[in-house]
Amino acid sequence: MTDTVRPAVAADVERLVDIETAVFVPPDYEPMSRRQFAYHVDNPRAVLLVYDSDGSVHGYALGLMRTTSRYLRFYSLAVAPGLQGGSVGRRLFEAIEQAARERGLGVITEVRADNERLHRRYLALGYSEFQRKPEYYPDGCTAIRMRKSR
């Protein structure tokens, strides 16, 4: 079996939408659309990576960059439901962090205030809180913004 993390290509978009809609369910989250994924595949300010196992995509991670920022914004990560809880998400997240380091950037992310497990994980990985944004998510939940310098 060949497992790799690679940049997304246009042929991956349909599978990315399938994963996205299975994982991000309103009202907690608003899933990204086919159009958004297609845009990010070609966006030079985006890092869209997929986890590919023998030619099948099972997850993705998306980071966004602004020319005026010293940070890559870790925007989203999703793993197909059958593979959650294993190493796929960790490998995608590590690849996003590596992509940021290669560009001389730190990483900024946000986590739902009610997702204590993920919040603790970010803290353990060296992220620190720098802002809370009330009513950030569609259901009104607060976001905790966190960052890690390069």
Question: Is pLDDT at 91 greater than 80 in this prediction?
Answer: yes
Q: What is the pLDDT of residue 66?
A: 92
Statement: 3-107 belongs to CATH 3.40.630.30? yes
- Provide the 8-state DSSP code for 135: T
Instruction: List, for residues 34-89, the tens digit of each pLDDT value.
Output: 999 999 999 999 999 999 998 999 999 999 999 899 999 999 999 999 888 888 99
Instruction: List, for residues 17-37, the tens digit of each pLDDT value.
Output: 999 999 988 777 788 999 999
Domain extents in the chain: 3-107
Instruction: List, for residues 107-145, the tens digit of each pLDDT value.
Output: 999 999 999 999 999 999 999 999 999 999 888 999 999
Question: How much is the pTM?
Answer: 0.90
Count Cβ atoms within 10 A of the Cβ of residue 38 and give its class: 0-12 exposed, 13-18 middle, 19 or more buried.
middle
Per-residue pLDDT, averaged over 91-119, amounts to: 95
Q: What is the pLDDT of residue 1?
A: 63
**Paired tokens of 57:** 């995509």
Identify the helix (H) or strand (E) that includes residue 88. helix 88-102
Q: What is the pLDDT of residue 77?
A: 94
Q: Is cis: bond before 27, omega within 30 of 0? A: yes
- The sign of the dihedral angle between the CA atoms of 47, 105, 85, 122 is negative
